[in-house]
Amino acid sequence: MGRSINVGIHVPSANPTPPTSNTAIALGWINGVLVALVIDFALYSVMGDSYPQGPATVVLFAIFALTGANLAERMGKRALRPMALAAGMLIALYITAGLSVWMTHS
């Protein structure tokens, strides 16, 4: 019997970046939303009641969530570690800020 020969044609993909894990993309969304919440709170603190909180919050969340996911997508396989580190730091910031507000008001 003869040997079979695999004669495949290699077609380079249009996207040269390596595939990203879904976890890294989800962390990009989370990081974007957390950063948007910080910016939203800062703008509300500076502008006061004249700040259009509803529409501005929605727009900030959409822009920053999509930006975080896009950043994770562009980073490729190396995105998971920095996205996880950033998410951990932002969540720690929120826990610290929440506890400090809770401790000062009780």
Residues 6-41: pLDDT tens digits?
556 666 666 565 667 899 999 999 999 999 999 999
The closest alpha carbon to 72, from 36, 32, 20, 34, belongs to 20
Q: Where are the beta strands (DSSP E) in 3-88?
A: none
pTM value is 0.74
List the structure tokens of 56. 């501005």
Q: So what's the pLDDT on residue 20?
A: 75
Q: So what's the pLDDT on residue 17?
A: 58
The one-letter amino acid code at 68 reads G
The one-letter amino acid code at 2 reads G
Q: How far apart are CA 18 and CA 11, in angstroms?
A: 15
Residue 55 reports pLDDT greater than 90:
yes
